[in-house]
Chain A
Amino acid sequence: MATELTVRMVGITKKFPGVLANDHIDLDLHPSEVHGLLGENGAGKTTLMNILFGLYRPDDGQIIVDGQEAFLRSPADAIARGIGMVHQHFRLVRPFTVTENIILGLKEGGALLDLRTAGARVAAVSEKYGLKVDPYARVQELSVGEQQRVEILNSLVRGAKVLILDEPTAVLTPQEADELAGALREMAKQGKTIVFISHKLDEVFKVTDRLTVVRSGKVVFESLTSETDKKQVAREMIGSDIARLKIGETSTIMAVAGAASLSEAREKPAAAADQPARAVDVLRVHDLHVRDDRGLPAVRGLGFSVHTGEIVGIAGVDGNGQREMVEAITGLRLIESGQVQIKDEDATRWTSTDYIEHNVAYITDDRQNEGLILGFNLARNAILKRFAHPPFSRHGLLDMPAIDRFAETLIGTFNIKAFGVHASVGTLSGGNQQKLILARELSTKPPLIIANKPTHGLDIGAAASIYQILADERGRGAAILLISADLDELLALSNRILVMYEGRIMGELPKGQADPEQIGMLMAGTPL
């Protein structure tokens, strides 16, 4: 006799303008299980779970919780039915304390807040599941791992029986990820159902009991974790989509390697540049000190260099000073002390204007709020940095036809899918937006490219084309600094990997010797 199902999702269908996100999806969730939900970006897994959590309403289908049909019109309904969700972007009130965050919206309690009692309750639940956190600390002062625990506790305190985690390890060190896995298994042992959304096969195979693969809005594969392997799951995740893409064989291997196994990517011969006669240092950073927005030291004595024809990868968990470093070496943040040299010129006091004048390209990770103006069209975004110069403007007036021609060239060369150069950039997909940024930055053939998480939020196909572009640039002799949280990407592309931790370089590993475990240790602050 089958065990009673906690949740049944039957025939869930959800359409957004232009895309069928969920196409008659069925999903069964059992008590005491960790259930992996896999798929590429845009496959539909997050949408499905957002429906389960009441953030979206399905166009068709049913949700049955504990044998009774549930109409989840809002997260409040979902929470009332015992469903909790931890998103990739935490939904915490940062200036509040842990306890305040957890009691926010709780229906119990009197007219006045009783933070002592609430704090004790939080501490109790925290003990029970091994999720250590200080109930009276302010969320903005907690580490990312601790903040995630607050999110989980939030659901547990509200009596969640089903806990959905959306890409929970994206922001954790390997060690923190292990701790989380332990906590999840403990919760499952105590009867909870955990839904673990991820695209990282190693983790899924470590933590889950069963898994479901979603692709293009449909369920394509379900199995007990023990009855399948990574190769099969990877194949199901990607399907035959790769064949549709116009990329070289190198990138295809890189893409599949990223999904299947790191060892394959490692064994592949390094996509090295034709070494130029002399490799010249283009970027040199020496003993850099930079403060963050709160005035605390974020970069504490960093030094490295990048020469022509190489990609230097910077690995590290978000929040170890990468953002501050990148902003310092692109003129967007004040350098407290230390030196930055661009091609033998002292760039320490340069502003962003100077960097642009010196043809240093900066591919930002925040494409919607920093790299592009969504309300502008493609043509205007294409000349964002160069509009004051000929051929785009003469005698102070913009030459619109010249601008349009330039934008057309970019679209053609980089294969950007858009409704013409006057289309609003907001209508482009994430991948095409990122390609536009790359196209713009690379159009001036920059000798130095600083790429900050260039494939963030993109699916494997789009990411693969960007890998190709970067590899091509390296071949052209450009010096590239690649900052990324994606180890697979760094291992596949970099000639050398530097690991950043708490504002310093913990260690450097040349490509042949780079090993995920070593990198993981460095990322967590353990010297080799």
Chain B
Amino acid sequence: MALETTHDNKTNLKRAWDQLFPALISIVIAVIIGGLLLVANGRDPLAAYLSLWQGAFGSFGRFTETLVKTTPFLILAISVSLSFRCQLWNIGAEGQLMVGAILSTWVALTFVSLPVYLLLPLTFVGGFLGGAIWSGIAGALKAYLNANEVITTSMLNYIAFYLTAYLVNGPMKDPQGFNFPQSPLIESALQLPILVHGTRLNAGFLVALLLVPAAIIFWRSSAGFRTEVVGASRRVAKYAGLNVVSTIVFVSILTGGLAGIAGWGEIFGIQDRLIQNIATGWGSLAIVIALLGELHPLGMVVAAFLFASMVVGGDAMQRNAGVPFALVDVIQGIVILLILARSYFFARRAA
């Protein structure tokens, strides 16, 4: 099962295949079920999926769009996997991303007098801090008061949403923005450099990629080991002399900080200003991606790319083929359930 850490004698390659194969099957089944739903409603699934494919990969430009979406998805998935491997069911990635976006934008708009080489890193810190605090609240409530983190983080998601709405309609509203709910633009010097001319692919993508080896190193560190022990059993962790409370808070802060960085990436790499609905539905996507990637950094790269292509393609599918984007959500949900149940089905086959 995705969330158990067994370390046995299989080679890495075989293990990767063992986990890749059910994931592939799950996606195929989900896609088929989605197709059937379309047929039942008188739509052409092939046209829909073709439109989806082209939307994601149809041209070089579309491909870069897919990479653009992979950026936050990958970062969020790594963030989620951190908590999940500690058995903390933190589902607040969306809210943490938003608060990170809020804080980093605020920094950019407030400290305009600072030179760019100081201000840009400061906004990065702001992004991390925003998400870290948002997640830290839930983490502290869990660690000190045993408050169920699923409920607290999901409530915090809604609160963050309304907070963003309040800010872009009020205190942070752009006076020259024609009354649109948005903040003023950040100065162009702060915008992240574009990697491929003529596309939106920016340096944020590199940040996301860098987090992958960072995550791998983390799980090989003593901090990572401590996280896994606390996740596996609080009792054993206490017995082993580990401070469970500080581990939970630490993991929560790091989780939120990563999500906040994703928010920073969206503002400074794509949007250039704070808006509402910056990350609708990305929180649950991050969970699916994390699970699909078996909570392993490399697996999550593949899964993030896959889902980014589905989202980008899905947008195109809705525009061009008139099939609601919600189909992608349905496929997500089916994939989660199938992935979870695979140990049940596969064990029965083996027995």
Contact between A and B in the complex (any CB pair below 8 Å): yes
A380 touches B7 (CB 8 A): yes
B221 touches A398 (CB 8 A): yes
Contacts of A387 in B (CB 8 A): 222, 225-226
Cβ-defined partner of A377 (8 Å) among B8, B226, B242: B8
A419 touches B5 (CB 8 A): no
B241 touches A393 (CB 8 A): no
B6 touches A424 (CB 8 A): yes
Instruction: Please tell me if A142 contacts chain B, counting CB pairs below 8 Å.
Output: no
Contacts of A372 in B (CB 8 A): 236
Cβ-defined partner of A375 (8 Å) among B6, B217, B221, B235: B6
B239 touches A419 (CB 8 A): no
| Contact flag A424-B7 (CB < 8 Å), given A351-B241, A373-B233 | yes
| Contact flag A420-B241 (CB < 8 Å), given A373-B229, A387-B225 | no
Contacts of B217 in A (CB 8 A): 397
Query: Residue of B at shortest CB range from A419?
Result: B9
Contacts of A362 in B (CB 8 A): 239
- In chain B between 228 and 242, which residues have their CB closer than 8 angstroms to a CB of chain A? 228-229, 232-233, 235-236, 238-242
Query: Residue of B at shortest CB range from A331?
Result: B241
Cβ-defined partner of A371 (8 Å) among B7, B221, B222, B239: B239
A373 touches B236 (CB 8 A): yes
A352 touches B233 (CB 8 A): no
B238 touches A380 (CB 8 A): no
Instruction: Please tell me if B114 contacts chain A, counting CB pairs below 8 Å.
Output: no
Q: How far is the CA of A331 from the CA of B239 in the complex (A)?
A: 9
B239 touches A370 (CB 8 A): yes
Q: How far is the CB of A181 from chain B (nearest CB, A)?
A: 37
Query: Residue of A at shortest CB range from B242?
Result: A353
| Contact flag A420-B9 (CB < 8 Å), given A369-B236, A370-B235, A370-B239 | yes
Q: How far is the CA of A388 from the CA of B240 in the complex (A)?
A: 11
B6 touches A352 (CB 8 A): no
Instruction: Please tell me if B4 contacts chain A, counting CB pairs below 8 Å.
Output: yes
- In chain A between 480 and 528, which residues have their CB closer than 8 angstroms to a CB of chain B? none
Q: How far is the CB of B28 from chain A (nearest CB, A)?
A: 29
Contacts of B39 in A (CB 8 A): none
Instruction: Please tell me if A242 contacts chain B, counting CB pairs below 8 Å.
Output: no
Instruction: Please tell me if B348 contacts chain A, counting CB pairs below 8 Å.
Output: no
A373 touches B232 (CB 8 A): yes
Instruction: Please tell me if A396 contacts chain B, counting CB pairs below 8 Å.
Output: yes
A398 touches B222 (CB 8 A): yes
Contacts of B197 in A (CB 8 A): none
A398 touches B220 (CB 8 A): yes
- In chain A between 119 and 161, which residues have their CB closer than 8 angstroms to a CB of chain B? none
Interface string of A317-356 (1 = CB under 8 A from B): 0000000000000011000000000000000000111011
Instruction: Please tell me if A235 contacts chain B, counting CB pairs below 8 Å.
Output: no
State which size class the interface on A falls in: 35 or more
Q: How far is the CB of A433 from chain B (nearest CB, A)?
A: 13
Q: How far is the CB of B49 from chain A (nearest CB, A)?
A: 39
Instruction: Please tell me if A384 contacts chain B, counting CB pairs below 8 Å.
Output: yes
Cβ-defined partner of B5 (8 Å) among A351, A375, A396, A397: A375
| Contact flag A384-B9 (CB < 8 Å), given A373-B229, A397-B217 | no
Instruction: Please tell me if B223 contacts chain A, counting CB pairs below 8 Å.
Output: yes
B8 touches A423 (CB 8 A): yes
Residue of B5, B223, B240 with most chain A CB atoms under a 10 A cut-off: B240
Interface string of B1-37 (1 = CB under 8 A from A): 0001111110000000000000000000000000000
Q: How far is the CB of B8 from chain A (nearest CB, A)?
A: 6
Q: How far is the CA of A372 from the CA of B229 in the complex (A)?
A: 10
Contacts of A221 in B (CB 8 A): none
Cβ-defined partner of A352 (8 Å) among B5, B223, B226, B239: B239
Q: How far is the CA of A385 from the CA of B229 in the complex (A)?
A: 10
| Contact flag A388-B229 (CB < 8 Å), given A352-B241, A376-B5, A377-B7 | no
Contacts of A423 in B (CB 8 A): 8-9
Query: Residue of B at shortest CB range from A355?
Result: B241
Interface string of B66-78 (1 = CB under 8 A from A): 0000000000000
Q: How far is the CA of A351 from the CA of B239 in the complex (A)?
A: 10
Contacts of A377 in B (CB 8 A): 6-8
Q: How far is the CB of B272 from chain A (nearest CB, A)?
A: 37
Q: How far is the CA of A81 from the CA of B226 in the complex (A)?
A: 52
Q: How far is the CA of A379 from the CA of B220 in the complex (A)?
A: 14
Instruction: Please tell me if B243 contacts chain A, counting CB pairs below 8 Å.
Output: yes
Residue of A371, A396, A420 with most chain B CB atoms under a 10 A cut-off: A396
Q: How far is the CA of A397 from the CA of B218 in the complex (A)?
A: 8
Instruction: Please tell me if A91 contacts chain B, counting CB pairs below 8 Å.
Output: no
Contacts of B7 in A (CB 8 A): 376-377, 379-380, 422, 424
Query: Residue of B at shortest CB range from A373?
Result: B232
| Contact flag A422-B8 (CB < 8 Å), given A332-B238, A353-B243 | yes
Contacts of B8 in A (CB 8 A): 377, 422-424
| Contact flag A353-B241 (CB < 8 Å), given A375-B6, A376-B7, A422-B9 | yes
| Contact flag A380-B6 (CB < 8 Å), given A351-B241, A369-B235, A373-B232 | no
Q: How far is the CA of A487 from the CA of B238 in the complex (A)?
A: 30
Contacts of A422 in B (CB 8 A): 7-9
Instruction: Please tell me if A193 contacts chain B, counting CB pairs below 8 Å.
Output: no
A375 touches B232 (CB 8 A): yes
B220 touches A369 (CB 8 A): no
B235 touches A388 (CB 8 A): no
A364 touches B239 (CB 8 A): yes
Cβ-defined partner of B239 (8 Å) among A332, A393, A397: A332
Query: Residue of B at shortest CB range from A378?
Result: B7
A375 touches B4 (CB 8 A): yes
Q: How far is the CA of A384 from the CA of B243 in the complex (A)?
A: 13
Q: How far is the CB of B7 from chain A (nearest CB, A)?
A: 4
Q: How far is the CA of A369 from the CA of B235 in the complex (A)?
A: 7
Residue of B225, B235, B241 with most chain A CB atoms under a 10 A cut-off: B241
Residue of A356, A375, A420 with most chain B CB atoms under a 10 A cut-off: A375
Q: How far is the CB of A412 from chain B (nearest CB, A)?
A: 19
A352-B239, A423-B8 known, 19 other contacts, Cβ within 8 Å: A332-B239, A352-B240, A353-B242, A356-B241, A357-B241, A369-B233, A369-B235, A370-B233, A375-B6, A375-B232, A376-B5, A376-B7, A376-B228, A380-B7, A396-B222, A397-B217, A397-B222, A422-B9, A423-B9
A interface residues with partner B (beta carbon < 8 Å): 331-332, 351-353, 355-357, 362, 364, 366, 369-373, 375-377, 379-380, 384-385, 387-388, 393, 396-398, 400, 419-420, 422-424
Closest 5 pairs (CB-CB, A-B):
A353-B241, A356-B241, A377-B7, A393-B222, A373-B232
Q: Can you list 19 A-B contacts with CB-CB less than 8 angstroms, sorted by A residue number?
A: A352-B238, A364-B239, A369-B235, A370-B239, A371-B236, A373-B232, A376-B7, A377-B6, A380-B7, A384-B229, A385-B240, A393-B221, A396-B221, A397-B220, A398-B221, A400-B220, A420-B9, A422-B9, A424-B7
